[in-house]
Copies of this chain bind each other. A is one copy, B any other.
Amino acid sequence: MTEQTYTTPSADIAAEMIQLGRQARQAARAMRNASGQAKAVALRAMADRLLDQKAVLQSENAKDLEAARASQISGAMLDRLQLSDKAIANMADGLRQIADMPDPVGSLSASTTRPNGMRVAQMRVPLGVIGIIYESRPNVTIDAAALCLKSGNATILRGGSEAFHSNRALGAVIAQGLADAGLPRHAVQVVGTTDRAAVGHLVTMTDYVDVIVPRGGKGLIARLAAEAKVPLIKHLDGNCHVYLDASADLDKAHDIAVNAKTYRYGICGAMETLLVHAGIAARILPRLGNTLTGMGVELRGCDATRAILPQALPATEDDWRTEYLEPILAIRIVDDIDAALDHIARYSSEHTESIVTESLQAAERFQREVDSSSVYVNLPTCFADGYEYGLGAEIGISTNRLHARGPVGLEGLTTYKWVLTGNGQLRG
């Protein structure tokens, strides 16, 4: 929004971006073979230098904050933009945690031996060059760079123009950490222009960029998806459902539904539609409706729901499709699990869905038939997070069907190659 203030005019953004791409490609070759130790040294050095250079970071950050205030940015956005003492300490902690994780690169799968005696295995290797496109949070600069570095990739970071000075300063810290460990300085590059044309080049430079991870609102991601030739690891919507089955334990059902909706309204794993089996609706909905209404959640229901919950507004077709990310919940009463599965097949964004049930058969059927990246039994959808799954930090959540699905951790930033070892076997 204050884009023009920061724009570095450039005669040829395309040439600049290709230069970044070439440098990244070259760095990727060195990074592929970097030892786990060198990568850990770099990450720890970045953590140390972040804390040492807090004053510089905060004075650069102040420039962004001032410009943001001048353009009357919202309080929440200012909050995300700020490199407070706590934000800097959190980034340093995150770097150390990632440094301590096992190196995802170089491991060999179990091998098979073919009838002719040759051995066949897969070796885990980095993806190559990863582009990260994100909005106002400068901490993404550190978090994303760290995950890409640990997984042996080269990274090109393109943050929001509103965090330009902050990101540049964080980029300098990253460069120092790379130098401390003897890793190539182009292993992590921060795009030095805020011209939007740079993004257009980044997402179409298929020769230089292997994958793009967008981090930001739906608007950004939809725009990138329309434009990109480089594959994206992304999700657009988290229209998540919880289905309370006929056999649900009513206390669990109550607590799971409340947690799924209210743990945090703004996260992609928040429940947006609750489906309730007709056989238990009259027993569960009054208590659940009370709790949610008491917490300030607006309810919108089908006719059957409204007959039980008078406070619910009428739900329209749009409600079934909407990811509110707000204290609003759509509720629909369904005749049976088939109707619940049909509703989910029709409206889900394939992010995360959950069934609450005591029936083994219903649980197994739901997990088998629901085609989402995460499918739960007796858990709130808000568990959709890499840490909760045991993956450690995540680069994002994917609703793609190819490559990584659900929370994407270090392994999602790698691929494999086939390694075959023989002793002169011939074909044919």
Which residues of chain B have C-beta atoms less than 8 A from A422's C-beta?
Answer: 376-379
Which residues of chain B have C-beta atoms less than 8 A from A327's C-beta?
Answer: none
A118 touches B383 (CB 8 A): yes
**Cα–Cα, bound, A369→B30 (Å):** 9
Which residues of chain B have C-beta atoms less than 8 A from A402's C-beta?
Answer: 127, 210-211, 231, 402-403, 415
Interface residues on A, range: 35 or more
A369 touches B420 (CB 8 A): no
A255 touches B424 (CB 8 A): yes
Which residues of chain B have C-beta atoms less than 8 A from A418's C-beta?
Answer: 373-375, 389, 405-407
Is A123 in contact with chain B by the CB < 8 A criterion?
yes
Which residues of chain B have C-beta atoms less than 8 A from A66's C-beta?
Answer: none
Tell me which residues from 356 to 411 in chain A have a Cβ below 8 Å from any Cβ of chain B. 363, 367-369, 371-380, 382-383, 388-390, 401-403, 405-407
Contact of A256 among B345, B377, B407, B424 (CB under 8 A): B424
Give min CB distance, A173 to chain B, whole Å.
29
Tell me which residues from 412 to 428 in chain A have a Cβ below 8 Å from any Cβ of chain B. 415-428
A120 touches B375 (CB 8 A): no
Tell me which residues from 329 to 375 in chain A have a Cβ below 8 Å from any Cβ of chain B. 345, 363, 367-369, 371-375
Contact of A427 among B128, B382, B403, B421 (CB under 8 A): B382
**Cα–Cα, bound, A210→B405 (Å):** 14
Copies of this chain held together in the complex: 2
Is A263 in contact with chain B by the CB < 8 A criterion?
yes
Is A54 in contact with chain B by the CB < 8 A criterion?
no
Which residues of chain B have C-beta atoms less than 8 A from A377's C-beta?
Answer: 419-422
Chain B: CB-nearest residue to A256: B424
Say yes or no: A32-B371 contact (C-beta < 8 A), given A127-B402, A416-B405.
yes
Is A160 in contact with chain B by the CB < 8 A criterion?
no
Q: Mark A106-124, 1 if CB is under 8 A from B, else 0.
A: 1000001010001010010
Say yes or no: A388-B114 contact (C-beta < 8 A), given A127-B402, A402-B127, A417-B374.
yes
Give min CB distance, A403 to chain B, whole Å.
4
Say yes or no: A390-B426 contact (C-beta < 8 A), given A369-B32, A417-B374.
no
Is A59 in contact with chain B by the CB < 8 A criterion?
no
**Cα–Cα, bound, A383→B423 (Å):** 13
**Cα–Cα, bound, A391→B293 (Å):** 55
Give min CB distance, A39 to chain B, whole Å.
15
**Cα–Cα, bound, A230→B358 (Å):** 40
A33 touches B368 (CB 8 A): yes
Is A29 in contact with chain B by the CB < 8 A criterion?
yes
A-B CB contact pairs (8 Å), 23 listed: A29-B345, A32-B369, A33-B368, A106-B368, A114-B388, A123-B367, A127-B401, A127-B402, A128-B401, A211-B401, A211-B402, A252-B424, A255-B424, A363-B421, A372-B417, A373-B417, A375-B417, A379-B420, A379-B422, A379-B424, A382-B427, A405-B418, A407-B418
A-B pairs with the 3 shortest C-beta distances?
A: A379-B422, A252-B424, A402-B403
